[in-house]
Structure 1
């Protein structure tokens, strides 16, 4: 069974364990930095968050695979991919 599914503008996680794996403190900080700072590259995002580029790139890929962000071409080879949020916020609903 998948850890999450998509429905309209929602991402539905299957179980608390999948939520805990996805929403680590460092990934939440990345999401907040993407939303607040609109970095022009993954490299810039790593600088903003004071994290290693490789770790940020891995977390960005995971957030992209889940559907929380997307990566857009910058049009400038030097800047690479731009992380863009697909949501303006996150709301958790613990309904049974």
Structure 2
């Protein structure tokens, strides 16, 4: 089973600002040689549920299992409006949970989920 490791971290605005400052400093000093684990930052624990909604998880599952060849086809499979599906796809692509690749005719976008499961780490300590 191919897993996609995702770390979800709850950080205040101040903590997130400090995190970015440290990251930029590492880049400036050329200290980053390997990509960091994929990380999603949430402001509160409740925000995690807003990021990975039931519909977004269902969308990822359908893409993985059925391999739709367009956003329109995916919307029909999900019985949802294409504009709403497109919004969720754009969001999930932005946080690295799927890819939108060019289709055979280079016009349609094909959603791709290339893993079987999400492995999510939520730290319980600060």
Common topology (TM > 0.5): yes
Alignment RMSD: 2.2
Give the CA deviation at 1:86. 4.2
1:55 aligns with 2:75: no
How many residue pairs were aligned?
A: 91
Counterpart residue number, 2:20: none
Structure showing greater radius of gyration is 2
Q: Give the TM-score taking structure 1 as reference length.
A: 0.80
Counterpart residue number, 1:92: 120
1:13 aligns with 2:17: no
Counterpart residue number, 2:72: 43
Give the CA deviation at 1:77. 5.0
Unaligned stretches of 5+ residues in structure 1? none
In the alignment, the residues of structure 2 paired with residue 7 and residue 17 of structure 1 have an alpha-carbon distance, to the nearest angstrom, of 25
Higher relative contact order at CA 8 Å, sep ≥6: structure 1 or structure 2? 2
Please give the per-residue CA displacement for 1:27-50, whole angstroms capped at 9, x wherever unaligned. Answer: 111011111111111111101111
